Amino acid sequence: MGRVYFWVSVAWVSGVLLSLFFGLDPDQAGLILTELRLPRLLLALSVGGALAISGLVLQTTLGNPLAEPYTLGVASGAALGAALGSSWDGAGGALSLESGATLGASVAILLLLRGLRKRSRSGDSMILGGVMLSLLLAGFLSLWMGLADPSGVRSIQFWLLGDLGRATYRTAVPVLALGLVGMVYFISASAKLDAFLFGEAEVEGFGVSLEKSRRMFVLWVSVLVGFCVSSAGMIGFVGLAAPHVLRRVAGTALHRHLVPLCWIFGGAVLAVGDALARGIARPKEIPVGAVMVVVGVPVFFWIHARMRGRVES
Amino acid sequence: MRAALSFLVLQTLLPFSVAVAAPSRVVTLSPLISEWVGEVLGCESAVRVVAGVSEYSDFPECLAGKPSVGPYHHVSIEKIVSLRPDLVLASEEYNREAIARLKSLGIRVEVLPKERFLAMPAWIERLGELLDAVPQAKRQSDLWSKRLKEFAADKKRNRTVFIEVQHDPLITVGGGSFLDEAFDAVGLQNVFRDHREGYPRVSRESVLKADPEEIHILDLRGREREFEESRKSWGRFPALRAVRQSRILRLRGEDFARCTPRLLRALKGLG
């Protein structure tokens, strides 16, 4: 396990260095590093880490390998809120894109918690409920896009595909703090998470309350995802793929290892993705969400094939 | 006596206290602003003063080779900072995020209001003040005002027009845009001027209902084939007056995309 921690840390350091120095213009480098790249790096590490942990926890507690941070509809709520917020912002109102996203995520979390009140909710039915909520909110978002001024739609399209360019210390530090607290919480709850690996029917046999634990985990994940989407838009792939890669690479299902590894690795992956998004077509920026998918999916299959080959041999 | 002395001191000091040195490293955040900087300063000065421009700043050509800071709706803050500007000229309409960010980094950002065809003289004069080029800007604004008066004098009967900005989805020009005002100035009434958004998406049904006398297709990309396809597509509706009277016209993107002297010249041929 020490080797896995070592290589994941190497990936993290590489991500940090790449994010700070890739394509750095020597003119005004000090100002660019301290005021633009450092907060952006902090946000990338925090959001990537939080999304990876969220994906891991949802895949475990819902017993579904396809579960990811956006499965439960919180991100769609944030996206709809951001769209409405940007409209009101443009009209000189009190809402902004970020505050609208936070409000939208909060409303989605409340709807989700209301759904969770009913006992005997299986993981599958929760996923179904989350997907339906996502669809409903995405439908409202499409409605807004159809009715809004096209120039307003364009301004939010970039954000919807993931945008770390808005990062400041004020936006990055709360996500970092919340992500670290979340990681500590999930490490402390790792025994409960491990119990979920034996299936819903067996969880209570380990002295773990299925309903109570799951509700708590889902609430934590929703808050984390809400913060992530509000500050960086919709960034896919990392929340779904990072836990799968680490399970294979680390060869363990124990959450006391997977949770910190996910946090480190998820942050590293997003930091690299953001460096590429920012650097490959300078001064144009490509949405980081698009880079994550286009680069990440082939890399994921490559790792998957390599690990399978190793197991077979 | 004391008051007179104070007045004298103020008179002596005031010019020094308000004088701002002419900017020597200007970055423009929209193609419209780049073009007007070129118009006001003239190419020779503009090339010396402008340090960077937003993408698509293709006119005047002397500024086309300047470092790009990215597309106007998503400029690169890093690139702007690295150019060490002493003045960033931003658009109120398109650069809201960048304005806040650049100001927080201690960079001087001056925001120009949304361009309005009838209010351009004031817009140009404001730009002149910011560039410390008031006389040159005044010449341009006077020219604009003169053209407006000429248009008003020559204005004939209002013909109704539909202005197509994009064919799929169908996007037109709303009442809040400079093109709406420009067309109105030469006696062409935009059928969708009641829409207060700049560029609303509309249905073909609503165009049929409005039944404009003319359809003007804005050819932003300069592609003859796309214009022809668009024209043919309207030909499917012979009930439209514009189709019956063969009044489907092409607006060259380079003339009509921005509120600049090129638009003034092109409008003369429309009225």
Q: Kindly state the helix (H) or strand (E) to which residue B217 belongs, with its residue range.
A: strand B214-219
Average pLDDT over residues B9-32: 70
Q: What is the pLDDT of residue A95?
A: 65
Residue burial A257-270, b: 16+ Cβ < 10 Å; e: rest: bbbbbbbbbbbbbb
Whether B78 and chain A come into contact, CB under 8 Å, resolves to: yes
Judge: B200–A32 Cβ closer than 8 Å, yes or no. no
B76 closest CB neighbour out of A90, A155, A282: A282
Residues of chain B contacting A27 with CB distance shorter than 8 Å: 82-84
Specify whether the CB–CB gap between A266 and A53 falls below 8 A.
yes
Q: Do B199 and A32 touch (CB under 8 A)?
A: no
Tell whether A282 lies on the interface with B, counting CB pairs under 8 A: yes
Select the CATH number that applies to the domain covering B156-268 from these four: 3.30.565.10, 3.50.50.60, 3.30.360.10, 3.40.50.1980: 3.40.50.1980
Average per-residue pLDDT in chain B? 89
CATH topology of domain B22-147: Rossmann fold (3.40.50)
Residue in B74, B97, B199 to test binding to A, most A beta-carbons within 10 Å: B74
Per-position pLDDT tens, chain A of length 313: 788 899 999 999 999 999 999 988 888 888 899 999 999 999 999 999 999 999 999 899 888 888 888 888 888 888 888 888 877 655 445 567 778 888 888 888 778 777 766 655 677 778 888 888 889 988 998 888 877 766 667 667 777 888 898 888 988 999 999 999 999 999 999 999 999 888 877 878 888 888 888 888 888 888 888 889 888 888 888 998 999 999 888 888 889 999 999 999 999 999 999 999 988 888 788 889 888 888 888 888 887 777 776 656 5
CA dist A200 and B105 (Å) reads: 53
Q: Which residues of A51-72 are buried (b: 16+ CB within 10 A; e: fewer)?
A: bbbbbbbbbbbbbeeebbbbbb
Residues 156-175 of B with CB under 8 A from A: 171
Percent of chain B with pLDDT over 70: 92
Report the pLDDT averaged over residues B254-266. Answer: 93
CB contact, 8 Å: B81 with chain A? yes
Residue B92 contacts A where some CB pair is shorter than 8 Å: no
User: CB of A81 within 8 A of CB of A159?
Assistant: no
For B219, other C-beta atoms within 10 Å of its C-beta total 20
Contact B235, B227 (CB under 8 A): no
pLDDT in tens, B205-246: 899 999 999 999 999 877 788 889 999 999 999 999 999 999
Nearest CA in chain A to B92: A90
Range scoring the smallest mean pLDDT among A205-209, A307-311, B151-155, B170-174:
A307-311
The whole-model pTM stands at: 0.80
Mind listing the pLDDT tens digit for each residue in B94-125?
Answer: 888 899 899 999 999 999 999 999 999 999 99
Quote the pLDDT of residue B15. 45
Indicate if B156-268 has the same CATH topology as B22-147.
Answer: yes
- Please indicate if any CB of chain B lies within 8 Å of the CB of A158: yes
Give me the residue from A149, A168, A283 closest to B70, CB to CB: A283
pLDDT band at B14 (very low <50, low <70, confident <90, very high): very low
pLDDT tier for residue B16 given thresholds of 50, 70 and 90: very low
Nearest chain B residue to A152, by CA = B94
For residues B74-91, b (16+ Cβ closer than 10 Å) or e, as one string?
A: bbbbbbbbbbebbbbbbb
pLDDT at position A149 is 66
Return the residue in A19, A20, A31, A142 with the most chain B beta carbons within 10 A, the one to mutate for interface testing. A31
| pLDDT beyond 60 at B93 | yes
Q: Could you tell me the sign of the dihedral formed by the alpha carbons of A114, A120, A123, A128, in that order?
A: negative
Q: Do B97 and A35 touch (CB under 8 A)?
A: no
Q: Do B76 and A283 touch (CB under 8 A)?
A: yes
Query: Do A149 and B198 make contact, defined as CB atoms within 8 angstroms?
Result: yes
User: Is the confidence at residue B9, as pLDDT, over 70?
Assistant: no
| Sheet containing strand B50-52, strands side by side | B50-52, B26-28, B87-91, B109-112
Q: In this predicted structure, what is the pLDDT of residue A71?
A: 81
Cβ-Cβ contacts under 8 Å, B84 against chain A: 27-28
Give chain B's radius of gyration (CA, Å).
22
What is the mean predicted confidence (pLDDT) over B52-64? Answer: 91
- CA B217, B223, B229, B232 torsion-angle sign: positive
Interchain contact, B74 vs A31, CB within 8 Å: no
Q: Do B199 and A149 touch (CB under 8 A)?
A: yes
Q: Which of B53, B76, B78, B178 to mutate to test the interface with A (most CBs of A within 10 A)?
A: B78
Rg value, chain A, Cα: 19
Task: Spell out the domain ranges in chain B.
Answer: 22-147, 156-268
**Residue A243's pLDDT is what?**
93
Contacts of B90 (CB under 8 A, 6+ apart): B29, B30, B33, B98, B99, B102, B109, B110, B111, B112
- Say if CB B243 and CB B204 are below 8 A apart: no
Dihedrals φ, ψ of B50, to 5°?
-80, 125
Distance CA B39, CA A150 (A): 29
- Confidence at residue B17, expressed as pLDDT on a 0 to 100 scale: 43
The residue assigned the tokens 């409960």 is: A192
Cβ of residue B197 closer than 8 Å to a chain A Cβ = yes
Closest CA to B79 of A154, A37, A289: A37
Cα distance between residue A248 and residue A110, in whole Å: 35
Amino acid identity for residue A88 in this structure: W
Instruction: Tell me if chain B has a CB within 8 Å of the CB of A165.
Output: yes
- The pLDDT assigned to A313 comes to 57
Domains in chain A, please, with CATH?
Answer: 2-312 (1.10.3470.10)
